[in-house]
A and B are shown apart, each in its own frame.
Chain A
Amino acid sequence: MNCKKVLIVDDEKGFTSMLKLNLESIGAFEVKVVNESKYALMTAKQFLPDVILLDIIMPEKEGPDVAIEIRNDPTLKNIPIVFLTATITRDEVQSQNGWIGGNIFVAKPSSLKELLASIESSIAVK
């Protein structure tokens, strides 16, 4: 099975390193982390991930702005984005089956199982 490439864009270094460890331990993912959102576009262009896990509230450049840049880039525009955020609750996400405004959302903290399900469904939709 080919490893899926996951790009995590989140300013919480502790969180991204824990998530990277978990995803890599499964053996199905190749993970790259960007903690400064201003480098997200550049890294995405080099890494060409299968899915981008994107935090919403970040210093300098917020998640939605990063998402717009990615959507406007011809080489990246079809890469699914999963928004990872602490601003909404799991109930709010689950009440809409994870989809809010055409994007997949995962509330922080969610179990690894829930996050994997969201990654899989985003890749499947792609």
Chain B
Amino acid sequence: MSKKIKKDYSRPLDVIVVEDNQVDARILESMLLDPPTIAKTLKIANTLSSAIKILEENEIEIAILDLNLPDSKGIDTIVEISKKFPKLTIVINTGAYEDELGLEALSLGAQDFLLKGKYNAYVLNKILRYCLERKRLEIELKQAYETLKDTQSQLIESEKMKVVGGLASGVAHEVKNPLATILYGVTYLIEQVKMDDDKYNLVLNNIKEATNRANGIITDLLDFASLNKMNRTKSNIVDVIEKSLSLVHYQISKNVIDIVKDYEVDLPLLMIDVNRIEQVFVNIFLNAIFSMEKNGKIGIRIHSSFIFDNKQALPSAAKDKFNPEQKLIIVEIDDVGKGIPENEISRIFDPFYTSRRGSGGVGLGLSVSKNIIENHGGSIVVENKADCGVIAKLIFIV
């Protein structure tokens, strides 16, 4: 494993020589260890597999690599090593220089190409250190590129959301008018037309229910469009959660769900849009209820934390997101349901993802919830528990 490289050009290095020719290995060994010492750690491997084992078990920062080994030939050797150890600095050491091979090795992750017998300890020392610095810069550049890519995708995502939002409000207005017409038409028929045949009533009630469902979908879409309209007030998160529980009281009683509460006392107030946050909790409670058979259990734990004094309490995805000075309130809601299939867990926040497509789920609940929490500067993480069920962790900044 490589470790963080400091800009100290005289410090001894942690080196591995991967070389099956004992004479060549011996020459390198003496260059690296004879005073003035270049290496403080020197490991020698004569096959690719033994080199991989050493790299897995030791803190090595640079590898001097012969490409032709008993168990790996030519360019494959460097491909294998650089794939497994992307942060390792690699210098090729070969008996015959070929321009094409040299350039290919560099493009695959090597930092330089040494020709056996054409360098001395002084030159080797310089090359190794220049290679380390180049590798450090390469890693920094890669990280900067990744950050740039992330920022770009976030921008694209936000532009996409704006388009969806604009489309949603336009469509919502156009669709809600005819829905209102259908709803009042059906209401009139249900009230006025007294049919003896139950089938007529069934048809009318089905139309009414479908109209209400369509309206629900449009309303969810409008939530996307209006997420920036927040009405924040200083509020107690416990009150919001209790109100949300009361809104799903019917489903809780019907399914005989046991609610286990563990609330820290004297929690600080949060600046939140109460209606929006209620919407998030109702969503999470309903997901939990629908994922369980009757007689299930939902645990609700609320506690406050500073990121540095209780890092364990934070979901790993959220750890890097917050400033260590900020006090946080963490709400954990878990159930004992069937959990989320592992291959689907990365998609649960995608718009229109649902596991309840056949039973009325539209798939906007969690994506809207995530947007609401993130618009509050917070974070939401949903994970499968080790035993059974799902845990949702919501983090709010005080």
Contact = CB atoms under 8 A, between A and B. Distances in A.
B2 to A, nearest CB: 54
A72 interface: no
Interface in B161-203: 169, 172-173, 176-185, 187-188, 191-192
B219 A86 contact: no
A109 B211 contact: yes
B173 A57 contact: yes
Contacts of A25: 188, 191-192
Given A14-B178, A15-B177, A86 B172 contact: yes
Contacts of B172: 86-87
28 contacts: A12-B178, A12-B181, A15-B180, A18-B180, A18-B188, A19-B184, A22-B184, A25-B192, A86-B172, A86-B177, A87-B169, A87-B173, A89-B223, A91-B219, A91-B275, A91-B279, A92-B226, A95-B275, A107-B176, A108-B176, A108-B179, A109-B182, A109-B183, A109-B184, A109-B211, A109-B215, A111-B187, A112-B184
The interface centre, meaning the residue of A12, A57, A108, A110 with most chain B CB atoms within 10 A of its CB, is A108
8 tightest A-B contacts by CB? A86-B176, A109-B180, A18-B184, A14-B181, A108-B180, A15-B181, A109-B183, A18-B185
Interface in A79-116: 86-87, 89-92, 95, 107-112
A108 B169 CA distance: 13
A37 B92 CA distance: 82
A18 B179 CA distance: 11
Nearest to A55: B177
A12 B175 CA distance: 12
A91 B368 CA distance: 15
B330 to A, nearest CB: 26
Interface in B208-241: 211, 215, 219, 222-223, 226
B275 A109 contact: no
A111 B209 CA distance: 12
A21 interface: yes
A89 B175 CA distance: 13
Contact of A109 (B176, B191, B226, B279): B176
Given A15-B180, A57-B173, A90-B219, 12 more contacts: A12-B181, A14-B181, A18-B184, A21-B184, A86-B180, A91-B219, A91-B279, A109-B176, A109-B180, A109-B184, A109-B215, A112-B184
Interface in A1-56: 12, 14-15, 18-19, 21-22, 25
Nearest to A20: B184
How many interface residues does chain A have, given as a range? 20 to 34
Nearest to A13: B181
Contacts of B191: 22, 25
Contacts of A95: 275
Interface of B: 169, 172-173, 176-185, 187-188, 191-192, 211, 215, 219, 222-223, 226, 275, 279
A89 B222 contact: yes
Nearest to A95: B275
Interface string A47-82: 000000000010000000000000000000000000
A18 B186 CA distance: 9
Nearest to A16: B181
B177 A21 contact: no
B171 to A, nearest CB: 11
Contacts of A108: 176-177, 179-180
Contacts of A89: 219, 222-223
A91 B372 CA distance: 15
A95 B177 CA distance: 22
B48 to A, nearest CB: 63
